[in-house]
Amino acid sequence: MLLCVSSSHKNAPFSLLEGLSGAADAARTLTSRNEFFSGAVVVATCNRFEAYLDVRQPEGSDPRLAVVAAWQAVCAHTGVEYEDLKTGSAVYVGDAAAQHLFSVTAGLESLVVGETEISGQVANALEHAREIGTTTSDLERLFQTAAKTSRDVKNQTKLGRMGRSIVQLALDLSDSRIVDWSKLRVLLVGTGQYARVTVAALKTRGVTDIAVHSASGRAEHFAEMRELRAVRPERLTHELACADLIVTCTTSPHTVIDAALLRASRTEAAHTGVSPTAVDATVSDSEATGCPFDHGSVGSVAAVPNLPARQLVIDLGMPRNVAVDVTDLPEVELLDLETIKLHAPLSELRSSDDARSLVDEAAQSFHQQRNQQRVGRGLAQLKAMFFDKLDAEIERSRRHEPSQANTEKALHHLVGVLLNTSMQRSRDLAAEDRPHDFVDALEALYGIQADMPDEDAETCGRCPIAHELLGPHTHRADDDGSLRSVS
């Protein structure tokens, strides 16, 4: 049985999602509960946690014990509170789990409907499950179908062609604050899942001055591959002070930038001196045509020469990379995921409807494939039983001289052997008051429609009349206690 436990921006607070965002390895903990789960694939992103589980239970059975076990395992792995996870998650079982994954992978359940990163994140989750050995054949088929559905949505609907990423939306929201992207000095903190997309989106807008810093030491390689400037740890405060735009996208469990760090960076830069930035922050509003920011009513003169008068900080990290106290600084504006969520636009209804139709079709097809697999296993057992009986009959016939009469006798005997199990089951089902099960099976397997007596007719065994001749009828007791039929 397939089971999905899902927490996202739709049903969980960001505080819970922060606690779950680093749980990509939770699949190990889940499959350690092997009395319930034979496999697990976990999708953990900045605004979504999904655990897809292959449960050791037949379809249609009660999943509640497995759901509780999943919640407990996730809590043990992440440290989140059980009641928080219970109230902040949705549960999908069987076909509903498959349909939910297809919808998620297509971008229909994202913070920004149609965003492009999620399909890659789902693919990475499957690859990670393969590496740690927690996937199963059923989960493989599920996720491969999800990948195909995502491609179909992308290629066949406007949602796929026009889908905007969280990064693109964040930069779109910044447009009103930035006059000239080409003169912007940008510091990228982190090389996490949004870093590559951020660099591409910034370059598309004409940004050329991009520096990257990573506490993990991956900045050099990341920068070299994309022709960026790598920032050494000792130069971080300088870059923080000089950047017009700071974008964070690390996987750090703690904040990496706060008000104290930004204030100290500007103070240090003021004492040591800084090289001119892409923004001449000393010009007045009337002369600010070369400044990348729309100064508005905030003021146009920075406290420190050659430092930007205003800084925009975009926090794409989950857990939060930037402490909210940076907004206490008059020159800093913060744009985080919660703010982005408030501005996430609705997709075009037609595009969304077309995409959901494709998801529905994929879910129905996946349901049919699973049914065929279940039937296939039973059919294989039926064929094996028939051929075993055939082999036994061939072996028995070899003890007799070959002749037409013996061949006919052997064939009649084979038919009797094949019917024997069905006849015995029919008697057993009749004794259990389940004759309709047998009749329904005949129609389902062989198309045989066997008429059943009218259920309303009271045809008890005491009635002396031959039912085969008169058909269904009821009986009535006369005053003397004798029975007579009433047709």
pLDDT digits (tens, 9 = 90+) for 289-337: 344 444 443 323 344 456 888 999 999 887 789 999 999 999 999 999 8
Name the more confident of 163 and 186: 186
Most confident option among 132-146, 168-182, 363-377: 132-146
pLDDT tens per residue, range 168-211: 888 999 988 898 999 999 999 998 767 888 998 999 999 999 99
> Angle 117-132/95-105 helices, nearest 10 degrees?
120
Confidence class for position 400, pLDDT limits 50, 70, 90? confident
Confidence of residue 476 (pLDDT cuts 50, 70, 90): very low
pLDDT at res. 229: 94
Contact 46, 317 (CB under 8 A): yes
How much is the pLDDT for 361? Answer: 92
Q: Which residues contact 271 (CB under 8 A, 6 or more apart)?
A: none
d(CA 360, CA 149): 10
Taking CA atoms, 334 is separated from 136, 192, 323, 345, in Å, by 43, 19, 9, 20
How many other CB atoms are found less than 10 A from the CB of residue 98? Answer: 26
Contact, 475 vs 484, CB < 8 A?
yes
* Sheet with 185-189: strands ordered across: 229-230, 209-213, 185-189, 245-248, 311-315, 332-336
H or E element at residue 476: strand 474-477
- How many angstroms separate the CA atoms of 314 and 374, rounded? 50
Give CA separation, 407 vs 360, 397, 410, in Å. 54, 8, 5
Helices vs. strands in the chain: H and E counts, helices first: 18, 12
CA distances from 279 to 178, 233, 245, 413, 470 (A): 11, 24, 11, 97, 103
- Distance separating alpha carbons of residues 33 and 336, to the nearest angstrom: 37
Is the CB of residue 259 less than 8 Å from the CB of residue 240? Answer: no
| pLDDT > 70 in the chain, percent | 80
pLDDT for the residue 477: 46
Kindly list the structural domains of the chain, giving each domain's residue range(s) and its CATH number in brackets, ordered by start: 2-163 (3.30.460.30), 166-343 (3.40.50.720), 378-475 (no CATH)
User: CA-CA distance, 97 to 83, in Å (whole number)?
Assistant: 22
pLDDT digits (tens, 9 = 90+) for 102-127: 999 998 888 767 777 899 999 999 99
424: tokens are 């015995």
How would you classify residue 369: left for phi > 0, otherwise alpha for psi between -120 and 50, otherwise beta? alpha
- In tens, the pLDDT along 239-274 reads 999 999 999 998 788 899 999 999 999 998 887 765
pLDDT at 214 over 90: yes
Which strand (E) or helix (H) includes residue 146?
helix 137-156
Q: Are 30 and 37 in contact (CB under 8 A)?
A: yes
Q: What is the CA radius of gyration of the chain?
A: 35
Phi and psi at 115, nearest 5°, equal -65, 150
Question: Does pTM surpass 0.85?
Answer: no
Output the CA torsion sign for 431, 435, 439, 445: negative
More confident residue, 430 or 130: 130
Q: What is the DSSP letter of 33?
A: -
Active site residues: 46
Q: Are 288 and 300 in contact (CB under 8 A)?
A: yes
In terms of C-beta density within 10 A (0-12 exposed, 13-18 middle, 19 or more buried), how is residue 296 classed? exposed
